[in-house]
Structure 1
Amino acid sequence: MKKQGYKVVFKEFQNGSPEMQALASGKIDYARVGDTPPISALASGTKLTYIAEGGTKASGSGVLVKKGSGINSVSDLKGKTIAYTVGTSSQYMVLKTLKLAGLKTSDVKLENMDSAAAAVAFAKGKVDAWAIWDPYVAKAELTESAKLLVNGKENKAVNRSFVVSPSSYSKKNTKVSKLLIKYMEEDMKWANKNTPALTKKMSKELKMSKSVIKKMLNRRTFKISAMNSEAIKEEQDISNQFYAYKWIKTKVVIKNHIANLK
């Protein structure tokens, strides 16, 4: 991007909820984010556009429980406390997981907390289960005697990532968006081919052990490309489910918020 005359500034957020707030206030021009935050943002009135889709974390996302907890199936979650974070993909994970056993949200106790607080609560046994994604999952599996009760492949909450932008910005900057997709796609291909180097880099950046990062990378494929019909369908399903459960007050039609980069 520098060779093309652009200066890129990176800003990190703990999860997609504050990231969408930053996007809505004009503090960032692009956000790489999970599947649920853009929908919540659109429903609340944020004008954003989907620029690109990423890969999924299906194998490393889901609902964690402790080994030996007696929770061995989704039906065992009835009456249990589940930690999750409102406005993130974990909210959808909970919904899809409960549906596997015909449970309602009223059949469990949902505790909304950020990932850092949830990690502590899960480690101390203050919650029975935790809806979360890698690398938190990998860390809990390796250090907290945890297991995925159900993952994104099983509950169909695949936790795909997306690149979104304020609508006003994306309309005026299609060239930038195209370049961003091009160079990010190159980065993703590098990531898939250079696991040892990526493990070392991510371990340092995330301040996590190499064993945790390696476990995460072994079940994940990186990708960035222009939006396609499958990803749009996935997002629409989330929007429909959230609207049906009254978690959002406005029904969001995803196809109306896709960038035209032709």
Structure 2
Amino acid sequence: MALLMLCASVHAAEPLRVSSQKQSLKILLQAAGELDKLPYPIEFASFAAAAPTAEALAAGAVDIGSLGDAPFVFAAAAGAPLKTVGVIKVNVTPTAVAIVVKEDSPLQGAADLKGRRITTTRGSIGHFLALAALRSAGLHAGDAQFIFLAPGESRTLLANGQADAWSTWDPYTSMVQLEGGTRVLVSGTGLFAGHMLLVANDTAIRDKPAQIADFLRRLARAYDWANAHQAAFSAIQAGYSGLPLEIHERSNRFAQAHRIDVGPTVIDDVQHTADLYREEGVIQAAFEAEQHFDQRFNTSVASPSLSGN
């Protein structure tokens, strides 16, 4: 028994390596006080976009991180050993995920994207939205010209007229709305479910289940804290990002992010994304969404404990 307790203690002390875009999860957890008196170390990594986050997860360089359902499908379909272990739900507002155009653009709806240059990040939620928007107008990927770039480069392309539309997400949508000179052509409302997936690689799920379970509980409490203290949290975010406070206030006010369990609704949504990607040639192989989820960390079940019990 003593040996088992010692092994459990050593195992629990192993660090959990967490990735997020631009340190967003670290900032959230720190602001909410959830990094105080940790029973195990957390090592954070920061990436500018979803693609390098997925690559780091697949390579085992990090254990867990956040991905939209579209980049998760893109990575998992390519053979990355990843599973969704938790879900953060955000409200889908008219500008949370959107295709934006310049204010004086002649484009008036999704049908007008035919033959136009759409810039977005390959495999991102922006890519998914653009495909979904085209499909809503009876069009397909081949009916538009896609230019795949990082968000900052896409923003520049739209501004200088080298792209007709930019399919993107918050905080970029809030940024361009506040700056002016652009308008929403197609909203993600009705096209995007608002799920941010918490994704771990198979090795971490096998070797660090207690750390993952504890981390997900901390993250749920942190989002609850942020929703209850929006002004304070927005100010902390602005201090890190250097962006105007108003951008974070706008994003937090509308998003109301909170943790939900992995379940049929989320799995069906990911399957829908995968089906669209396959039909449009973004991924080639059949994709069974249910195989890429692990429900042992749901709040409705007894998650692994750091005590080893």
What TM-score do you get using the length of structure 2 for normalisation? 0.80
Are the aligned partners of 1:57 and 1:133 in contact in 2 as well (CA < 8 Å)? Answer: no
Unmatched segments (≥5 aa) in structure 2: 1-34, 302-309
Per-residue deviation, residues 209-251 of structure 1 (Å, max 9, x unmatched): 0122222222211112331211111101011111122211222
Question: Larger radius of gyration, structure 1 or 2?
Answer: 2
Are the aligned partners of 1:141 and 1:147 in contact in 2 as well (CA < 8 Å)? Answer: yes
Does residue 113 of structure 1 match 2:153?
no
Structure 1 residue aligned with 2:81? 47
What is the number of equivalent residue pairs in this alignment? 261
Displacement after TM superposition at 1:186 (Å): 0.2
Greater than 4 Å deviation, 4+ residue runs:
none
Q: CA RMSD in A?
A: 1.6
CA distance in 1, matches of 2:91, 2:260: 16
- Residues 247, 258 of structure 1: alpha-carbon distance in 2 compared, 3 angstrom cutoff: same
SS of the counterpart of 2:69?
Answer: coil
- Residues 260, 74 of structure 1: alpha-carbon distance in 2 compared, 3 angstrom cutoff: closer
Are the aligned partners of 2:91 and 2:257 in contact in 1 as well (CA < 8 Å)? Answer: no
Does residue 9 of structure 1 match 2:9?
no
Displacement after TM superposition at 1:200 (Å): 0.6
Counterpart pick for 1:78 among 106, 109, 114: 114
Counterpart pick for 1:30 among 61, 64, 71: 64
Displacement after TM superposition at 1:42 (Å): 1.1
CA distance in 2, matches of 1:84, 1:175: 37
State the one-letter code of the partner of 2:195.
R
Per mean C-alpha deviation after superposition, the further-off stretch among 43-52 and 218-227 is 218-227
Displacement after TM superposition at 1:3 (Å): 3.6
Higher relative contact order (CA 8 A, sep 6+): 1
Displacement after TM superposition at 1:57 (Å): 5.5
CA distance in 2, matches of 1:205, 1:102: 43
Structure 1 residue aligned with 2:103? 67
Displacement after TM superposition at 1:259 (Å): 1.5
Are the aligned partners of 1:181 and 1:225 in contact in 2 as well (CA < 8 Å)? Answer: no
Are the aligned partners of 1:123 and 1:144 in contact in 2 as well (CA < 8 Å)? Answer: no
Per-residue deviation, residues 72-125 of structure 1 (Å, max 9, x unmatched): 211122221110111211111111111121122222111111111111112222
Structure 2 residue aligned with 1:169? 204
SS of the counterpart of 2:100?
Answer: strand
- Residues 147, 158 of structure 1: alpha-carbon distance in 2 compared, 3 angstrom cutoff: farther
Structure 1 residue aligned with 2:245? 210
Displacement after TM superposition at 1:168 (Å): 2.2
SS of the counterpart of 2:43?
Answer: coil
Are the aligned partners of 1:57 and 1:134 in contact in 2 as well (CA < 8 Å)? Answer: no
Structure 1 residue aligned with 2:30? none
Displacement after TM superposition at 1:58 (Å): 2.4
State the one-letter code of the partner of 1:113.
L
CA distance in 1, matches of 2:261, 2:206: 15
Displacement after TM superposition at 1:260 (Å): 3.8
Structure 2 residue aligned with 1:236? 271
